[in-house]
Amino acid sequence: MTNERPFDLTKCVRPNILALPPYTSMRDDYLDHTNLSLLDANENSFGPSIPVQEVASTFRHDAVSIQSALDPKRLQLHRYPDAQQIKLKQLFCDLRNTTCEEKDAAVKPLAPENVCLGVGSDESIDLVIRAFCAPGRDKILICPPTYGMYEVSAQANDVTVVTANLDVDNGFALRPEAIDEALSEDPLIKVVFICSPANPTGNLIPRAEIVRVLEHPTWNGIVVVDEAYIDFAPGGSLARQVNKWPNLIVTQTLSKAFGLAGIRLGIAYSQPQISQLLNNLKGPYNMSAPTIALATAALQPAGIALMEANKRAMIEQRKRLLRELPKISGFGRFLGGYDANFLLVQFLDKPGGQGAVPDNAITAAVAHTLAINSGVLVRYRGIEPGCVGSLRITVGTKEEVDNVLLQIQMALEKVYSGRGQTA
């Protein structure tokens, strides 16, 4: 017997999920290319902060212990992993208790009860929205241009997004007065997301501006400061401030400075009551045994030392890009700040001179030419507020920077030539 009424997925699935586009990256368009130079996703080209193999001679003692920790028998892969991750959480607390500014000395140190670990920062973002926003009713506030997953997670959870754009005429500064006004007018806004250092603009948001939002006299909601790139910025993390501000959550990741994007580990610091809520909400055993072991290895003294060495090397290459890109005909200017492992670079509609303006068509063509002709992937950001004609370029190794400088110059010459212009 057959069912005469065919199943209609579109009438069964939640409308907000039906409208949700799949996650894609530029890499999906160039899967057939080999030897790609991946400067599009702000990964750490200097590699993971785990001293094994080629760096074992430098960190010999720790390398032995790390290799032992990753032994399959020791990992007990046939058993469920550590559900609470107390030892790993303590390592994260130790790291941030020693990397905050001196003025944080009077604030209570972080402890494991302040920490919730997620599958990348994206799970932390989703947990916060799920915990504090009622679907179909509540709202979040974001500050474009900013990290796209805040809006994606809100859409998946049927939560409305309110915007208070960064000040595009003032270096993409936060506009706390605009945020405060929105919070005063709309009590349904339950979460504010502030990315600092900001993505894609690369500027660190001053602490005083974040504090102004935290000090709102009537609003009852959560402020999330996304510090994915904090280790590349001057000054310290806000993480310990969660023990001062009861509605502050600080999220971080091992994907950037520690070079561990592949293990997908995010950290959310908050006061213990909030942390308990987030831990209650996440799935059981959400951290795999290999992830716990690799993160533990990276947070040992040798791993932290390697991270710091790689970071110093990255900062040198960032300085090179800041020096050399302006010498290329067709370069416009740098947008935002220099507090992350990437730069936001604007390009012009002609090689330069009077009347040259930022141009999305030229910039998109440059990104495509880089990918097709030289296998260099960068991220086109021209459609973001205040980012016309811009590419976000991840800072790579010396060899990658050598190559991207050459390839950008060649790509601009090719694109201009196609328009009858001379670079």
pLDDT of 74 reads: 80
Domain ranges of the chain: 15-47+306-418, 82-287
DSSP label of 109? P
pLDDT of residue 359: 96
CATH 3.40.640.10 correct for 82-287: yes
Structure confidence by residue, pLDDT tens digits, 282-296: 989 999 999 999 999
Q: Range with the lowest mean pLDDT among 7-21, 109-123, 341-355?
A: 7-21
pLDDT of residue 255: 96
Examine the pLDDT at 7 and tell me if it is beyond 90: no
What does the alpha-carbon distance between residue 367 and residue 331 come to, in Å, rounded to a whole number? 14
Q: Which of the four pLDDT bands, split at 50, 70 and 90, describes residue 59?
A: very low
325-348 pLDDT tens trace:
999 999 999 999 999 999 999 999
Q: Which three-class secondary structure state does DSSP give residue 23? A: coil
Instruction: Identify which has the larger pLDDT, 417 or 90.
Output: 90
pLDDT in tens, 271-320: 999 999 999 999 899 999 999 999 999 999 999 999 999 999 999 999 99
User: Would you state the pLDDT for residue 142?
Assistant: 98
Task: Tell me: pLDDT of 362 over 60.
Answer: yes
State the Cα–Cα distance between residues 141 and 186, nearest whole angstrom.
10
The pLDDT value recorded for residue 66 is: 58
Write down the mean pLDDT value for the chain. Answer: 90
Res 75: pLDDT: 83
Q: What is the pLDDT of residues 150-163, one digit of tens each?
A: 999 999 999 999 99
Question: Is residue 82 packed enough to be buried (19+ CB in 10 Å), middle (13-18) or exposed (0-12)?
Answer: middle
Q: Does the structure show a pLDDT above 50 at 57? A: no
Q: What mean pLDDT comes out for the span 248-261?
A: 97
SS3 content of the chain, % helix, strand, coil (to 5): 45, 15, 45
Q: How confident is the model at residue 422 (pLDDT cuts 50, 70, 90)?
A: low
Q: How far is CA 285 from the centre of its chain?
A: 24
* Residue 38 pLDDT: 87
User: What's the pLDDT band for 58 if we cut at 50, 70, 90?
Assistant: very low
Q: Is the pLDDT of residue 70 over 70?
A: no
What pLDDT, on the 0 to 100 scale, is given for residue 10? Answer: 81
- Nearest CA to 167 among 139, 208, 209, 125? 209
CATH, domain 15-47+306-418, list 3.65.10.10, 1.10.630.10, 1.10.10.60, 3.90.1150.10: 3.90.1150.10
For the cut 90, the answer to whether the pLDDT of residue 209 exceeds it is: yes
The predicted structure's pLDDT at residue 52: 64
DSSP H helical segments within 78-160, as ranges? Answer: 86-97, 120-132, 149-156
